Each structure stands twice: as structure tokens, then as C-alpha cells.
Amino acid sequence: MKITALPVSLAIVALISGCASSTVGFGGQIGTPGTAMSFQETHESDAAMLEQTAALEALMRDIVRSSTVKHAAIGAAMGCGIFVLATANASGCIRAATAGGVVGAVSGNLAGKREVARRMELVSPNELVRGIRSSNEKLDQITTNLPQLLSRQEKTVATLAQRRSLGELSQGEYSAQVASIRTRRAELAEALTLSSKQAKLAQNNLADAAAHGQTGLEWHIRAIEQLEREALSARSTISLL
């Protein structure tokens, strides 16, 4: 009985070992545990990075909104310009003109217009500062994590190529998984490109506000310009494989 039991035990051990030697990898493919874990980590890292770039894009849209000049308020201010030099009730005039839709009702002189524009807050510097700080923090996360992500993706592609050469993956399976990585890279690149474009738009908006007389925006413009440069720099590191 002992002699016949030994082969059965060995067969069971061999069966268990055989089952443990392979597992389902990324995309439902069969591979070694290490390979499957690598694919899973790459997929999770891709998803996390896409969330970060989407969050940056949303923050940049907020900056664009905060930097957009309130043109109706400008018109009201210009209409009240002539009264600024003669009365302390300029703010009351502006409120009345804005509420009544009187845009540029009184021409005023150039000095009066500039004085009103300086007193008017065409864009909110405080909102801009908050948006810029949040965007900087998010962009710092992206620029820190992006090189590691790209390196991991390239290693994954190399592993896929090796498995294809060993006959573990068909050409179609290899192409599908590489295409999936390429698609995620394209999404990252597009999000960073959009963020840089929004930064440029915000700069133009602030230049518009400055042209209409609002002062103290130099730091904000430089900070947003830096955001644009860093977003473009991060975008330039992404190739589509």
C-alpha cells in the first residue's frame, strides 16, 4: 500500500505545483506570477496617472474661469469714470450702472477711466493664487511620478515582446496589449497639452485685465506661464511607443 500511495502523492504535489506556476496576467493572458503582477501594477499606475492629469486639467479650467475679465463690470466702471474725480461715491455709481445695464453711459476722461479700473477688481487675485497653488501641487505629483510610469510601461512592452518570441503570446495578443498602453499614453499626452493651452488662455485673460487697468497681476502671470512650461515639458517626455 505504501508503494502505491507514493506515486499518487507525488502526482498531487505535481498537479498543485503546476497550477501554482501560472496565473492570469494583464488582459487575461497566462503568465508567471511576477509577470502578472508587473502588468497589474502598470495598469493601476496608468489609472492613477490619468486621474492626476484629469485633476490638473480641471484645476486649469478653474484658473481660466478665475482669470476671465468681467467685461460688463468694465463697461459700468468706464461709464462712471467721470464721477470718480468729483465724488467718493464711485462704487455706488458702478453698482447702479451694472445693475441697470448702463455700459459706458458716461464717457469720462482717460484719467478717470484708469482710476475706476484700478479700483475695480476685474479678476480675483485670491482665487487665482489658490488655483495656482493647487495646480502646482498636482503638477509636482505628475512630474515626480511620470518618469517611473513611463519606465514601467516600457518594461512591460519588453516583457510582452519576450513572451511573444517564446510563443506565450500571439501577435494579435501582443499588439492588443501594446495598443492599450499606447492609448493610455495618448490620453496622458492630450491632458497635459490641454492644461498647457488653458494656461496660455489664462495668461491672455490676465493681460486683458491688466490692459483694462487692474494692477498687481505680474506674479500671477509669471506663475501661470511657469505652469504652462512645466506641463509642456512633461508632455514632451511621452512618446507613443
**CATH number, residue 184:** 1.20.58.590
Residues 6+ apart with CB under 8 A from 205: 64, 67, 68, 69, 123
In sequence order, which residues have a C-beta less than 8 Å from that of residue 139 and are 6 or more positions away?
Answer: 56, 195, 227, 230, 231, 234
Same domain, 172 and 238: yes
Residue 80's identity, in one-letter code, is: C
Judgement on whether residues 44 and 152 belong to the same structural domain of the protein: yes
Q: Are 77 and 209 in contact (CB under 8 A)?
A: no
83 shares its domain with 188: no
Q: Is 59 found in the same domain as 93?
A: no
Residue 163 has pLDDT above 70, yes or no: yes
Average pLDDT over residues 136-155: 96
Q: Which cell is 91 given?
A: 462704487
105 and 214 assigned to the same domain = no
Q: Do 212 and 236 have their domain in common? A: yes
Supply φ then ψ for residue 23, to 5 degrees.
-150, 170
Q: Domains in the chain: how many in total?
A: 2
For 84-130, the pLDDT digits (tens) are: 433 445 455 545 555 544 444 444 445 555 555 445 578 999 999 99
- Tell me if 138 is assigned to some domain: yes
- The pTM is what? 0.68
Residues 194 and 223 in one domain: yes
For residue 148, is pLDDT > 60?
yes
Please write the tens of the pLDDT for every residue from 34-74: 455 556 666 788 899 999 999 999 999 999 999 998 754 55
Domain that includes residue 109, residue range: 70-121
pLDDT of residue 39: 63
Within a domain: residue 201?
yes
Structural domain includes residue 43: yes
**203 pLDDT more than 70:** yes
Q: Counting Cβ atoms within 10 Å, is residue 3 exposed (0-12), middle (13-18) or buried (19+)?
A: exposed
